[in-house]
Amino acid sequence: MNASEESFSSIGRQRNLLLVLISLFFLFPFIENIKTEISLVSFIFFGVIVATFRTIKVQRKIIIWFWIFSINAFILDVALWLYSPGIVRHIILTASLLTYSGFLVFSLVLMIREIFIDDKVTSDTICAGISIYLLIGFLWTLFYDIVNLVDNRAFHYTAARDSVSLMYFSFCTLTTVGYGDIYPVNKIAMSLSNLEAIAGQVYIGVFIARLVALHLVNSRK
């Protein structure tokens, strides 16, 4: 495969990841309310994992280990349907959320490194940048889910208590909208929400500055 073919393939993967993330973003509130034997959210989130793996460049050994962890997390997620609410289900859900969180942290670090070492602005760079922003929102949703498992009074709700509400809160915090219909009352949740707001603003500022700088440099060349 020559350089141009490899570049085109990379762009295709970045676009696929972005499409999967946007689909999850819009479908999650509806899928969460569908009662099925196996959670559709688990399948879609595993699709996010597959799409993300295809966009990052890392050693084969590391990829294999993270495939193992991701598959285990998916199996744990599906296994939740075999257990009624109780301590076993609680442990399985916590393990699944922690594994997914670790994967997203790992992926974000690698993806951010890749777009910031690129020496020109391409559609690949823009797609990756938007994907990273969405992944940050999903990562903090998992963090809030974990906190909510430990303390079910960690957040004050004026609406339904579910993962949809926490995802909604995560992206409201990431974009610093803050409607106030959901807010943290647990100290850890407060700290996490502050960190997410800071991360969202810093990332946008730095990413846009990077795009502008690369555009100016390439224009001068």
Question: What span, in angstroms and rounded, lies between the C-alpha atoms of 81 and 75?
Answer: 11
pLDDT of residue 44: 64
pTM, two decimal places = 0.81
Residues 6 or more apart whose CB falls under 8 angstroms from that of 186 comprise: 147, 151, 153, 154, 155
pLDDT of residue 35: 46
Q: Are 66 and 53 in contact (CB under 8 A)?
A: yes
Closest CA to 183 of 200, 194, 143, 175: 194
Q: 183 - beta bridge partners?
A: 156
pLDDT of residue 173: 94
pLDDT by residue for the chain (221 residues), tens only, comes to 444 444 434 456 778 788 878 887 887 777 655 544 445 556 666 777 777 766 766 677 777 777 777 777 777 777 766 666 667 777 777 877 888 888 888 888 888 887 777 777 777 778 888 889 999 999 999 899 889 888 888 898 876 666 678 888 999 999 988 788 888 999 999 999 999 999 999 998 888 888 777 767 766 66
- How many CB atoms are located within 10 Å of the residue 16 CB? 18
Question: What span, in angstroms and rounded, lies between the C-alpha atoms of 74 and 52?
Answer: 15
Q: Which domain holds residue 214?
A: 3-220
- How many CB atoms are located within 10 Å of the residue 123 CB? 10
- Number of structural domains (the chain) is 1
pLDDT of residue 2: 42
